[in-house]
């Protein structure tokens, strides 16, 4: 049986198998592995566009907003009709310091035929465009009052560029640079705008000058923009003017917090981090600055430090800051936890047994660094409302073991969606003393489990077909050292998530269970139909499932129930981890 299970799970790596593994990891919130599997599937050959879109959502769940933004951009490029991907791209552009791309995309989507997309885009465009227009007006007035403030010209140029007013941007980038020739990074900005305006010669000359006179970071940026080609001396026709001496009025230094915000908006993350640190030193305990330090640390891949800043910010009395910081903290924290706690339960009613059933487990795990093995302590509950009764036939199999089982075990990950486990413990049978069974029994269990899925699984952004297969092989000492193989399959359709957040699936059920000993209760096949539902008002991790199946026993020796049965079962799945 184990060989059959291994054969079922093994095989050459394909785009489909990698995609299935990615979706399984995504459901289990293993985002690093899911992202790796999505990328493997995309690299193995032609793949549907929705695969890249789900990769983008996985990156977003992990907090990689810039990478998610780039993937949504590729999705929209491949499918210009996917306006949802375009909206995601535009919002992420705005959040990651690319207001110009955000504004352009929102502007295009305002002409959408979908009223919902049109309304969202129009509202988002206004939220991006209005501050730009107001900022341009404000800095234009500031320049009228103090025309020699180079920083005011730079700020006006950046706002004008973001608003796609490129001639205005070019004019003020050049004025800012001529007022402060030592600010060589302005040449990079000026070249970028000139290139967008079709002024290629001017752009090249600005880049050449930046390469020759700028500090290392600016020079390297200019070199990359010129594709590393060594410029001729004649290219440097744009040269800095003679110092203006008394005409040059340097702007007073800006506060550290304002410099930090400007650096972050311009995607100068290192500079933003440095200025946010200065701002926090000037005003210790500022939770808003601590939150921004967490964001910039995260963008710099300094996640342990980001976690520390988010922890400070989430204690803020400002509910808005504390909520955002706590969300960011919870996303990062699991990566650095040595210990974790999880719990899950499946309570349901079964008409076949005319009773309710509960199977659940709480587990504490230790995660050794760089190890595939995870030791754990576990407590299981397996119970039902029917139980044993006097006068029932001896040896009759019941709906559950009516036991609490405490155990210590070890789990090992074999691949992204396959793991093995084994545990040794003690079972307490709360009906044992009354009906002649031992109240305490040793309990040894081991198994291998896998979940494969494809298509639009529950939680997908788009509706569509799906299929899931759960394969579990289990050894149980208390069932006469039996080994049991479960194959559970669901094939159906996932419906679009409603505006309020609920989502449903309708599916066909087809299951097979076989065991080594040939017990009647361990050999049966089922087929039927079911629905699954997630409601936004309930805690995350809760779903409801109802199934109606027809079953047939494959072994009938000592079977008191008859070869066939109907079963209506309805219940809830709940899981959480910390």
Render pLDDT for 200-235 as a digit per residue (tens, 0 to 9). Answer: 888 888 888 888 777 888 888 888 888 765 555 444
Question: Does residue 368 share a domain with residue 324?
Answer: no
pLDDT of 550: 96
CATH number (domain holding residue 387): 2.40.128
- The DSSP code sequence of 401-436 is --EEEEEEEEEEEEETTEEEEEEEEEEEETTHHHHT
Q: What is the CA radius of gyration of the chain?
A: 31
Specify the DSSP class assigned to residue 184: T
φ and ψ of 300, to 5 deg: -90, 5
Query: Taking residues 507-521, what's their average pLDDT?
Result: 92
Question: Does residue 444 share a domain with residue 350?
Answer: yes
Question: Does residue 433 share a domain with residue 328?
Answer: no
Residue 128 lies in a domain: no
Instruction: Give percent of the chain with pLDDT exceeding 70.
Output: 85
**Number of C-beta neighbours around residue 265 at 10 A:** 15
pLDDT at residue 252 greater than cutoff 60: no
Per-position b or e across 341-371, b if 16+ CB within 10 A of its CB: eebeeeebebeebeeebebbbebebebeeee
pLDDT in tens, 18-43: 888 888 888 888 888 888 888 888 88
pLDDT in tens, 39-90: 888 887 677 788 888 888 888 888 888 898 998 888 888 888 888 888 889 8
Question: Does residue 428 share a domain with residue 450?
Answer: yes
* Average pLDDT value over all residues in the chain: 81
Question: Does residue 373 share a domain with residue 283?
Answer: no
Lowest mean pLDDT among 24-38, 159-173, 228-242, 397-411: 228-242
Question: Does residue 321 share a domain with residue 371?
Answer: no
Question: Does residue 404 share a domain with residue 305?
Answer: no
pLDDT of 340: 79
What tokens were used for 77? 């490029």
- Report the candidate in 53, 25, 49 with the shortest Cα–Cα distance to residue 37: 25
Question: Does residue 309 share a domain with residue 274?
Answer: yes
pLDDT at residue 283 greater than cutoff 70: yes
pLDDT in tens, 442-460: 999 999 998 888 888 777 6
Q: pLDDT band at 523, cuts 50/70/90? A: very high
CATH number (domain holding residue 38): 1.25.40.10
pLDDT in tens, 76-133: 888 888 888 888 898 898 888 888 888 888 888 888 888 888 888 898 888 888 888 8
Q: pLDDT band at 8, cuts 50/70/90? A: very low
pLDDT of 326: 86
Residue 501 lies in a domain: yes
Element (H, E) at 118: helix 115-145
Question: Does residue 384 share a domain with residue 311?
Answer: no
Length of the chain (residues): 578
In 430-502 the beta strands, taken as DSSP E runs, fall at: 440-455, 464-476, 482-494
Decide if 407 contacts 384 (C-beta within 8 A). no
Specify the DSSP class assigned to residue 520: G
Residue 225 lies in a domain: no
Greater pLDDT, 237 or 446: 446
Residue 197 lies in a domain: no
CA atoms of 545 and 145, how far apart (whole Å): 68
Greater pLDDT, 15 or 3: 15
Query: Taking residues 287-315, what's their average pLDDT?
Result: 88
Q: Residue 187, SS3? A: helix
What tokens were used for 98? 């690319």
pLDDT of 9: 41
Domain encompassing residue 100: 2-109
Instruction: Identify the residue whose tokens are 């079911």.
Output: 530
| Contacts for 176-183: CB closer than 8 Å, 24+ residues apart | 176/150, 176/151, 177/240, 178/240, 178/241, 179/148, 179/150, 179/153, 179/244, 179/248, 180/150, 180/248, 180/250, 181/240, 181/241, 181/243, 183/150, 183/154
> Domain ends where: 109, 137, 170?
109
pLDDT of 255: 65
Greater pLDDT, 523 or 573: 523
pLDDT of 147: 73
CA atoms of 145 and 181, how far apart (whole Å): 22
Residue 199 lies in a domain: no
Query: Taking residues 522-526, what's their average pLDDT?
Result: 93
> Domain ends where: 86, 109, 132?
109
- Report the candidate in 525, 527, 513, 523 with the shortest Cα–Cα distance to residue 556: 523
φ/ψ region of 63 (left if φ > 0, alpha if ψ in -120 to 50, else beta) reads: left
Question: Cα–Cα distances in Å, from 63 out to 22, 267, 268, 538?
Answer: 17, 17, 19, 24
- Number of structural domains (the chain) is 3
Residue 143 lies in a domain: no
Q: pLDDT band at 248, cuts 50/70/90? A: very low
> Domain ends where: 335, 370, 401?
335
Question: Does residue 435 share a domain with residue 315?
Answer: no
Question: Does residue 309 share a domain with residue 349?
Answer: no
Query: Taking residues 161-173, what's their average pLDDT?
Result: 89
Taken in order 540, 541, 542, 545, is the CA torsion positive or negative?
positive
Instruction: Identify the residue whose tokens are 């000592």.
Output: 558
pLDDT in tens, 550-561: 999 999 888 888
Residue 75 lies in a domain: yes
Question: Does residue 313 share a domain with residue 265?
Answer: yes
Residue 9 lies in a domain: yes
Q: pLDDT band at 390, cuts 50/70/90? A: very low
Greater pLDDT, 211 or 346: 346
Instruction: Give percent of the chain with pLDDT exceeding 90.
Output: 17
β-bridge mates for residue 533, sequence order: 504, 544
pLDDT at residue 529 greater than cutoff 90: yes
**Number of C-beta neighbours around residue 396 at 10 A:** 12
Query: Taking residues 481-507, what's their average pLDDT?
Result: 89
């Amino acid at each position: 049986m184990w060989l059959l299970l291994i054969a079922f799970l093994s095989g050459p790596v394909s785009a489909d198998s990698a995609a299935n593994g990615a979706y399984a990891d995504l459901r289990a919130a293993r985002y690093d592995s899911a992202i790796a599997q999505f990328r493997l599937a995309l690299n193995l050959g032609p793949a549907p566009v929705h695969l890249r879109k789900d990769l983008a959502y996985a990156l977003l769940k992990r907090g990689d907003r810039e990478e998610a933004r780039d993937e949504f951009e590729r999705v929209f490029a491949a499918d210009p009709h996917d306006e949802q991907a375009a909206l995601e791209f535009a919002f992420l552009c705005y959040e990651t310091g690319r207001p110009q791309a955000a504004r352009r995309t929102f502007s295009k989507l305002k002409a959408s035929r979908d009223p919902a997309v049109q309304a969202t885009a129009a509202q988002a465009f206004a939220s991006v465009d209005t501050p730009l227009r107001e900022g341009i007006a404000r800095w234009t007035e500031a320049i009228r009052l103090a025309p020699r403030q180079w920083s005011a010209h730079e700020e006006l140029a950046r706002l004008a560029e973001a608003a796609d007013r490129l001639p205005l941007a070019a004019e003020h980038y050049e004025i800012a640079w001529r007022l402060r020739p030592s600010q060589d990074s302005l040449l990079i900005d000026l070249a970028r705008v000139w290139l967008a305006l079709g002024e290629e010669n001017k752009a090249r000359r600005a880049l050449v000058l930046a390469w020759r006179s700028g500090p290392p970071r600016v020079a390297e940026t200019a070199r990359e923009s010129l594709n590393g080609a060594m410029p001729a001396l004649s290219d440097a026709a744009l040269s800095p003017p003679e110092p203006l001496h008394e005409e040059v009025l340097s702007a007073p230094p800006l506060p550290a917090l304002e410099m930090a915000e400007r650096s972050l908006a311009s995607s100068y993350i290192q500079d933003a981090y440095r200025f946010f640190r200065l701002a926090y030193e000037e005003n210790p305990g500022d939770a808003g600055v601590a939150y921004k330090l967490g964001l910039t640390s995260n963008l710099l891949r300094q996640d342990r430090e980001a976690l520390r800043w988010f922890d400070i910010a989430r204690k803020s009395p400002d509910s808005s800051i504390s909520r955002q910081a706590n969300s960011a903290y919870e996303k990062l924290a699991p990566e650095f936890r040595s210990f974790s706690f999880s719990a899950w339960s499946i309570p349901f009613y079964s008409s076949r047994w005319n009773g309710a059933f509960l199977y659940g487990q709480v587990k504490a795990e230790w995660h050794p660094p760089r190890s595939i093995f995870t030791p754990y302590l576990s407590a299981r509950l397996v119970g039902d409302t029917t139980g044993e009764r006097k006068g029932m036939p001896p040896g009759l199999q019941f709906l559950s073991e009516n036991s609490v089982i405490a155990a210590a075990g070890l789990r090992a990950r074999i691949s992204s969606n396959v793991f093995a486990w084994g545990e040794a413990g003690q079972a307490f049978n709360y009906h044992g003393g009354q009906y002649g069974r031992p109240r305490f029994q040793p309990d040894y269990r081991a198994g291998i489990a896998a979940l494969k899925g494809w298509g639009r699984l529950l939680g997908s952004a788009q509706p569509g077909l799906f299929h899931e297969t759960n394969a579990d092989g289990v050894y149980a000492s208390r069932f006469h050292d039996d080994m049991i193989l479960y194959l559970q399959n669901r094939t159906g359709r996932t419906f679009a998530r409603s505006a309020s957040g609920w989502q449903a699936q309708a599916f066909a059920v087809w299951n097979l269970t076989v065991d080594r000993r040939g017990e009647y209760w361990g050999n049966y096949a089922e087929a039927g139909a079911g629905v699954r539902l997630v409601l936004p008002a309930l805690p995350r991790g809760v779903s409801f499932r109802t199934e109606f199946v027809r079953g047939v026993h494959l072994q009938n020796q000592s079977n008191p129930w008859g070869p066939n049965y109907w079963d209506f079962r309805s219940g809830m799945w709940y899981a959480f981890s910390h």
